[in-house]
Amino acid sequence: MTTLEQFDCALDLCRDIFSKKLKDYGPSWRIMRPRSVTDQLYIKAKRIRTLEEGEAMVEEGILGEFMAVVNYGLVGLIQLERGYADEADMTADEAIGLYDAKAALARKLMAAKTHDYGDAWRGMRVNSYTDFILTKLQRVKEIEENCGRTIVSEGIDSNYLDIINYAVFGIVKLTEK
C-alpha cells in the first residue's frame, strides 16, 4: 500500500471512533477552548510515552491513544477555526463534515511532505513519533502563551497538522502486518 492509502486506512479507524463517540456524547468537545484541546493532546501523548517506557495499569493501548491524538488534533483544528462554544452548537453531521474537511488538510500535507521527504518516516521508530508529538505540543503551548504570535515559526494549526500526521504514522506502524 502507498503512504496515502495507509493514511486513509488509519483515518478510517479514527473516524469510526470519532463517529461512535459523537453518537454517545454529541459534539460536547465544542465547549473546549483551544488551550484545553492542547492539554488533552498532551495528556494522550504523555500516556503513549509512559506506555512505551513501561507496563500499563489501565487496559488501553498505544494504538487507541494514537487514534485519540488524531481525533483531538482534528478537533483542535476545528476549534481554532470556529472558536469554542458554551454548549454543543452543531449536529453530528456538521461535526463529521468539519472533521472530514480538516482530515483532508492533513492528508494534503502528508502528500506534500511525502513528495519532499519520500517515506523517511518508515525508517523511524514509533517512540520517535511520540517524542515529535510532545515537542510540537511544547511549541503550541509556547505559541499559546504568546497569544498566538510567532516571529518566524509556523502557527498552532501547522503544528496540529504535524501532530495528526505523526500520530497517523504511529497507527500505520502499529497496524502493519
What does the DSSP assignment read for 10-64?
A: HHHHHHHHHHHHHHHH-SGGGG--HHHHHHHHHHHHHHHHHHHHS--SSS--HHH
User: What is the pLDDT, as a whole number, of residue 55?
Assistant: 72
> Does 58 have pLDDT greater than 70?
no
Q: Give residue-wise pLDDT tens across range 131-170.
A: 999 999 999 999 999 999 999 999 999 999 999 999 999 9
Coil vs helix vs strand at 58: coil
